[in-house]
Amino acid sequence: MEGKGIRYYFNDMNGNIEIKNCSNSVHSSRAHFHNEVSIALVESGVSRTEIGDAMYEITGNTFLIIPPGVVHKCNPYNYNDWNFRMLYISPSWFESAFNIKGEQIKFSYVKLNKTTSLAIINLLNNIENNIIDVEGESRLLNSISLLFDAENTNKEISKITYQRQLDKTKEFLDANYLSTITLDDLIQVSGISKYYLIRQFENSYGLSPHKYITNLRVNHSKELLKTSMDFSAIALESGFYDQSHFSKCFKEYTGVTPKKYRNNFTL
């Protein structure tokens, strides 16, 4: 069954993430499987859902993961109240993020509170029409981690073992923060899975990689604000998308707007 309430989006520059928004419809009335890792957020409605040879009743505010190749079928009781988002993630991306191969993934689901569910919905709304960046990918990884404890699945390795790689990552950020940086760049530098890198970087330095980059850019912009350079040029020169993004981040990190900060200096 194909409905007018189904929309597809392709995210990330390499086509590793596909997003589907389904409102008041169901994407397939037949049992089927996907080659990708399938992650669903059910926003509303109730469905009798077949996963392999088991049956589940899935309700609103449920977050679930279906491994590649696992046959499944959704049977909503009321199509008019059935709303969900799907993420189809390439197994290679998933492995690079969590160090878990497709065949190691198990079906699991978790019931979310409304606040967490809304946060994930807002995240998906934000990335549906925008190429995913470090911040978006970090939030996506943290959301997916609700479905399983990746650190327990991975081989336990002490933080000290990775400290050299974390220091190397920090040095890379210190030297390249004005450039566009992705999490893929960071795993190339560190050799650590994305999820583990985000968690351990914050444990070591007090900030996630994204927040550390933003902090470096804000500090850089403070020096430029002491010159006569206009705000839009400072925003771009400091690595921000535009002046609005710059102003928002600057105030979050300093408590004042760029304009107010500049007014403290005599140019």
Is 143 in the same domain as 169?
no
Quick one: pLDDT at residue 7?
Answer: 53
For residue 36, what are the contacts with CB-CB under 8 A and spacing of at least 6? 18, 68, 88, 89, 90, 91
| pLDDT per residue of the chain (267 residues) written in tens, 0 to 9 | 344 454 544 455 466 777 777 775 555 556 777 888 888 899 999 998 888 878 899 999 998 999 888 888 888 888 888 888 888 888 888 888 888 887 888 888 888 888 888 888 887 777 676 656 677 778 778 778 777 643 343 333 334 457 889 999 999 999 999 999 998 899 999 988 888 888 888 888 888 899 899 999 999 999 899 899 999 999 999 999 899 999 999 988 888 899 988 887 654
Residue 30 lies in a domain: yes
Structural element, H or E, at residue 63: strand 62-66
The residue segments making up the domain with residue 251 are: 162-263
Residue 114 lies in a domain: yes
For tokens 């005599």, name the residue: 266
Out of 105, 127, 149, pick the residue that ends a domain.
149
Quick one: pLDDT at residue 24?
Answer: 57
Residue 130 lies in a domain: yes
Encode burial over 208-243: b for 16+ CB neighbours within 10 A, e otherwise. Answer: bbbbbbbbbbbebbbebbeeeeebeebbeebbbeeb
Quick one: pLDDT at residue 234?
Answer: 96
Query: What does the alpha-carbon distance between residue 213 and residue 182 come to, in Å, rounded to a whole number?
Result: 11
Decide the pairing of beta strands 46-51 and 54-59.
antiparallel
Q: Is the pTM of this model over 0.85?
A: no
Is 167 in the same domain as 130?
no
- The count of domains in the chain is 2
Query: What does the alpha-carbon distance between residue 251 and residue 185 come to, in Å, rounded to a whole number?
Result: 28
**Nearest to 105, CA basis, from 138, 73, 139, 70:** 70
Is 145 in the same domain as 166?
no
Is 192 in the same domain as 171?
yes
Is 85 in the same domain as 186?
no
Task: Give the strands of the sheet with 54-59, arranged side by side.
Answer: 54-59, 46-51, 72-76
Out of 104, 127, 149, pick the residue that ends a domain.
149
Query: What does the alpha-carbon distance between residue 77 and residue 32 come to, in Å, rounded to a whole number?
Result: 19
Question: Do 243 and 172 meet the contact criterion of CB atoms below 8 Å apart?
Answer: no
Is 41 in the same domain as 106?
yes
Residue 183 lies in a domain: yes
| CATH number of the domain where residue 181 is located | 1.10.10.60
Which DSSP string corresponds to 36-57?
Answer: SEEEEEEEE-EEEEEETTEEEE
Give the number of other Cβ atoms within 10 Å of residue 127's Cβ: 22
Is 211 in the same domain as 95?
no
**Nearest to 132, CA basis, from 167, 97, 168:** 97
Is 129 in the same domain as 167?
no
**Nearest to 19, CA basis, from 86, 93, 97:** 86
Is 114 in the same domain as 233?
no
Q: Is the dihedral of CA 177, 183, 188, 192 positive or negative?
A: positive
Give the up-direction half-sphere exposure of residue 234: CA atoms within 13 A in the CB hemisphere.
24
